[in-house]
Amino acid sequence: MRDMTTEEIMEFINYWTWGTLIGVEEGGIPYAVELSYGTDGNYIYCGSKPSGRMARCVLSNRNVAFKICDSDRSYAQWRAVIIEGQAERLTAYDDILHAVRCIAKQRGLDEHAFDSIAKRVADNPQSNSLRIKIAKVGGVMSG
């Protein structure tokens, strides 16, 4: 096992489209949800069900972790990256539009593929559109 370089970490984040958002509920109970994400190199953009369990976690405690992992079936080759920080709820239309465009591009779609979603999300006061600064980050990999 070895630590990944900053360049390897960023390549890994930019390549994958699926990660795990980990939050903490009131009472210190951890909760995780798998979801698609996007990045602009500075932030991870993602979101979960409005008024859902993760939305409640973020409202009560903004501290989160975002985990991205990859492994072959034998576990001989694996990689894992974790981003730790505070989730920021996006409420402004322009911020949400940027987020959904990052997610679309990350998934290999036309960047405007989710533009229609941005208005609906911005109009929902219980929206859980999030960004997490890529500041405290680490990564490890096999061999």
Q: What is the mean pLDDT of residues 30-46?
A: 97
- The answer to whether residues 139 and 95 touch, using CB atoms and an 8 Å cutoff, is no
Domain CATH code at residue 95: 2.30.110.10
Which stretches does DSSP call E strand in 56-95? 63-71, 78-89
Q: What is the pLDDT of residue 124?
A: 85
- Per DSSP, 90 falls in state -
The amino acid at 19: G
Which residue carries 């997490």 as its tokens? 132
Buried b (16+ CB within 10 A) or exposed e, 18-41: ebebbbbeeeeeeeebebebbbbe
Q: What is the pLDDT of residue 44?
A: 98
Total domain count, the chain: 1
Q: What is the pLDDT of residue 26?
A: 87
Q: What is the mean pLDDT of residues 111-132?
A: 90
At 61-85, the pLDDT tens digits run 999 999 999 998 988 999 999 999 9
Domain extent at residue 47: 2-141
Q: Above 90 in pLDDT, residue 131?
A: yes
Q: What is the pLDDT of residue 62?
A: 94
Q: What is the pLDDT of residue 139?
A: 97
